[in-house]
Each structure stands twice: as structure tokens, then as C-alpha cells.
């Protein structure tokens, strides 16, 4: 499996959420585990069907999405109606 197709989206799997190919493990779930404080080795132990490359691919997938996001910083001294 190439790095390009480690993460897939299929409308028939978890409603089209990005998942690890061949599993129903979503990128979102992996990020939630990491955000909760689990280390990669703990995730691999808890989910033995996963591989280190798949977790890394999940992180890179999201990193690439965030890198494409535009950010607008407003000067707080201007009165902007809320």
C-alpha cells in the first residue's frame, strides 16, 4: 500500500469520513486518542491492527488540510460588531 492510499474516503464507510484503508478506524478517532494523551506506542498496543505508518499518515492528512486553511487576524482595536 502506498502512502497515497493509506487514508481513504468512501461514502459507504463511516459516512465518508477519512479512514485508514481496510479498516473502520477514522482519522478523527486516531487524533482523539493522541489528543487524550495516548502515545503512539500505546495506540499500537491497544489497536494491534494499526501500523505506525497509518498513524503518521493520519497526522499528515490533517496537517495538510490545516495548512490549506486561510486565517484572518483582526486588529482588536477596531470595533467589529459581534
> Is the predicted pLDDT of residue 14 greater than 90, yes or no?
yes
Nine-digit cell at 12? 459507504
* Tens digits of residue pLDDT in 41-76: 999 999 999 999 999 999 999 998 888 876 676 666
Provide the domain limits for residue 24: 3-58
Is 19 part of any domain? Answer: yes
Residue closest to 22 by CA, chosen among 63, 62, 51, 56: 51
Is 48 part of any domain? Answer: yes
- The pLDDT-based confidence of 78 (bands split at 50, 70, 90) is low
Is 20 part of any domain? Answer: yes
C-alpha span between 23 and 3 (Å, rounded): 15
Is 67 part of any domain? Answer: no
pLDDT confidence of residue 46:
96
How many domains does one find in the chain? Answer: 1
C-alpha span between 66 and 68 (Å, rounded): 5
Identify the CATH number of the domain in which residue 45 sits: 1.10.10.10
pLDDT confidence of residue 68:
80
Amino acid at each position: 500500500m502506498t502512502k497515497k492510499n493509506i487514508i481513504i474516503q468512501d461514502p459507504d464507510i463511516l459516512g465518508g469520513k477519512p479512514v485508514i484503508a481496510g479498516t473502520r478506524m477514522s482519522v478523527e478517532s486516531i487524533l482523539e486518542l493522541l489528543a487524550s494523551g495516548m502515545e503512539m506506542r500505546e495506540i499500537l498496543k491497544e489497536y494491534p491492527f494499526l501500523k505506525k505508518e497509518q498513524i503518521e499518515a493520519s497526522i499528515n492528512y490533517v496537517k495538510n488540510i490545516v495548512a490549506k486553511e486561510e486565517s484572518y487576524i483582526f486588529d482588536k482595536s477596531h470595533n467589529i460588531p459581534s
